[in-house]
A and B are shown apart, each in its own frame.
Chain A
Amino acid sequence: MKNLIILGAGTAGTIMASHLRKKLAKSDWTITMVDRATHHDYQPGYLFMPFGIYSADDVRRPMKRTVPHGIDFRETDVDRIDAEANRVLLPDGTALPYDVLIIATGVHPAPDQVEGMVNGDWRKNVHEFYTFEGAQALAGRLKSWQGGKLVVHICEMPIKCPVAPLEFCFLADAWLQKQGLRDKTEIIYVTPMSGAFTKPVASGILGKLLDEKRISVVHDFAIARVDAEKKAIVSWDEKEVSYDLLVTVPPNMGAEMIERSGLGDELNYVPTDKHTLQSKAHPNIFVIGDATDCPTSKAGSVAHFEAEVLTENILHFIAGEPLRSRFDGHANCFIESGHGKAFLLDFNYDQEPVTGTFPLPAVGPMKLLGESRLNHLGKMAFKWIYWNVLLPGLPIPFIGHQMSRLGKNIPPQDLKTAA
């Protein structure tokens, strides 16, 4: 009997468990999945909780409903990975030996990495919406909002779902209008980047949208500390932005267990081959989702596309074959722009997001980098797809792990260089 262990039962880990249980005979392989969480959260739903669009029940399910059949699930923390001895050590001293290990431990917001962020005002006037507790606390705070300075802020890149802070601005703008509080609220978007987004074409279009919605932007702002007394964020070059309500995205760190195991970089991300998803240090350790250091978005869509590649490569690895399947960095993100509309981005390592139609040329039906109601419906339908199609590892029609150039308005000069 051989052992395959998956660390982390989030989006990436659960999809891998679904795929591999179908591919690996139960008579030959035990698949163990380890996670300390008692619930599985639909993380894209956190964004909607502060505005009362989603409730706790929309985003949270007990783990026993999402762990696939035939998986040995262990609800526990992990002490560390002993990669030299091919085993995972649990806090109670148990050692779990493995033949193949998949690290899917994700990233988490680490507000303690910024001086003064976790102060007396934390979860009162200083909030984040990347955790269930954070999104819930922020929903409570918004209920008593009477107007003032709302600062939406990114500490440092990379972050999980890099479009979410923009979406938060757009949704806040729409929500405030509905409450009759928009004219009493100044919304300021503060980012360490030089523009609204990481990629040039999208950055231009989204920047314009911020402008239209009267959201001012402070760019190139590298936060040094939160000054709770002054209610201001202060940059390393002593610029200050004051707030009445700060909604920040803290630094996104990989699991501390990765650091204890000596397997991570300075952010506890695991150095990973960006095409094969094999860890660079150990051939029988593979990495997927937010836990990798791959230069693409930390997003559920990426985990989903990676899972198809990684499943094939693990089968190759077990068979002693070269790892033939290659991940291209494909990411697909809806951007809620408020008032029941949304944008859609589709891109990979080499192709930045551009305008066009998706998933089919001309027909669409969805618009790339353009605002539409259908894009919004796509985003809202995705919750159902997530629970019922994505986690069980079922295919989504027309959308493959390799990004398609069809339907994309790619500038001619870029087409020439494209492989």
Chain B
Amino acid sequence: MPTKNLAGTPVDTNDEGYLVNRSQWNKDVAAALAAEEGITLTDGHWKVLDFIDADFKEKGAVPGMRRMNKVGNIPTKDLYALFPDGPIKKAAKISGYPKPVSCV
């Protein structure tokens, strides 16, 4: 399991770069993870990350696109603008949660 240094914090990740231990996550780690994706976090990004965090704590899963729209009030268009190429996967990674499993 790779360990790397993000924003001065050692974190454990899986091979795809997702954190395996969310207790190692903080806002600076998020900014560093975002930077790896070429993203500078703004309030718009944080609205998404905060929703994922709250929803994960409630449901135990990273919310899908439709849930982001309907429950989080975040339009798909905005998600693609904020996190280009696979917004859910990228936002999940930056928020320190696992890669969403593809539905069956």
Distance (whole angstroms) from the CB of A205 to the closest CB of chain B: 17
**Is B85's CB under 8 angstroms from A237's CB?**
yes
B67 within 8 Å of A by Cβ? Answer: yes
**Is A224's CB under 8 angstroms from B67's CB?**
no
Contact partner, A222, options B65, B67, B70, B71, Cβ 8 Å: B65
**Is A266's CB under 8 angstroms from B104's CB?**
no
Residue of chain B at shortest CB distance from A271: B59
Q: Mark B71-92, 1 if CB is under 8 A from A, else 0.
A: 1000011011000111000000
Residue of chain B at shortest CB distance from A294: B104
**Is A266's CB under 8 angstroms from B80's CB?**
no
Contact partner, B104, options A158, A224, A236, A237, Cβ 8 Å: A158
Chain A residues, CB < 8 A from B27: none
Cα distance A70–B77 in the bound complex, in angstroms: 52
B23 within 8 Å of A by Cβ? Answer: no
Distance (whole angstroms) from the CB of B75 to the closest CB of chain A: 10
Cα distance A206–B65 in the bound complex, in angstroms: 26
B102 within 8 Å of A by Cβ? Answer: yes
| In the complex, chain B residues 44-81 whose Cβ is within 8 Å of any chain A Cβ | 64-67, 69-71, 76-77, 79-80
Chain A residues, CB < 8 A from B85: 220, 237
Q: How large is the interface on A (under 10, 10 to 19, 20 to 34, 35 or more residues)?
A: 20 to 34
B103 within 8 Å of A by Cβ? Answer: yes
Size of B's binding interface in residues, CB under 8 A: 18
**Is B86's CB under 8 angstroms from A266's CB?**
no
**Is A156's CB under 8 angstroms from B84's CB?**
no
In the complex with contacts A266-B66, A266-B70, A198-B80 CB distance below 8 A: no
Distance (whole angstroms) from the CB of A263 to the closest CB of chain B: 15
In the complex with contacts A156-B65, A220-B86, A266-B67, A198-B76 CB distance below 8 A: no
A157 within 8 Å of B by Cβ? Answer: yes
**Is B104's CB under 8 angstroms from A296's CB?**
yes
A410 within 8 Å of B by Cβ? Answer: no
**Is B66's CB under 8 angstroms from A198's CB?**
no
A295 within 8 Å of B by Cβ? Answer: yes
Contact partner, B66, options A194, A220, A236, A267, Cβ 8 Å: A267
A139 within 8 Å of B by Cβ? Answer: no
A112 within 8 Å of B by Cβ? Answer: no
Distance (whole angstroms) from the CB of B80 to the closest CB of chain A: 4
Cα distance A84–B70 in the bound complex, in angstroms: 25
Cα distance A258–B73 in the bound complex, in angstroms: 21
Q: Mark A169-188, 1 if CB is under 8 A from B, else 0.
A: 00000000000000000000
Chain B residues, CB < 8 A from A267: 66
Contact partner, A237, options B64, B67, B84, B103, Cβ 8 Å: B84
**Is A295's CB under 8 angstroms from B67's CB?**
no
Chain A residues, CB < 8 A from B65: 156, 222
19 contacts between A and B (CB under 8 A): A156-B65, A157-B102, A157-B103, A158-B103, A198-B103, A198-B104, A199-B104, A220-B85, A222-B65, A224-B76, A237-B85, A266-B64, A266-B66, A266-B67, A266-B70, A267-B66, A295-B101, A295-B103, A297-B104
Q: Closest 9 CB pairs between A and B?
A: A157-B103, A158-B103, A266-B70, A236-B80, A266-B67, A266-B66, A198-B102, A297-B104, A198-B104
Q: A157-B103, A198-B102, A296-B104 are in contact. List 20 more A-B contacts (CB 8 A).
A: A157-B104, A158-B103, A158-B104, A198-B103, A199-B104, A220-B85, A220-B86, A222-B76, A224-B76, A224-B77, A236-B77, A236-B79, A237-B80, A237-B84, A265-B67, A266-B66, A266-B69, A266-B70, A295-B104, A331-B104
The residues of B with any CB-CB pair to A shorter than 8 Å are 64-67, 69-71, 76-77, 79-80, 84-86, 101-104
The residues of A with any CB-CB pair to B shorter than 8 Å are 156-158, 162, 193-194, 198-199, 220, 222, 224, 236-237, 251, 265-267, 295-298, 331
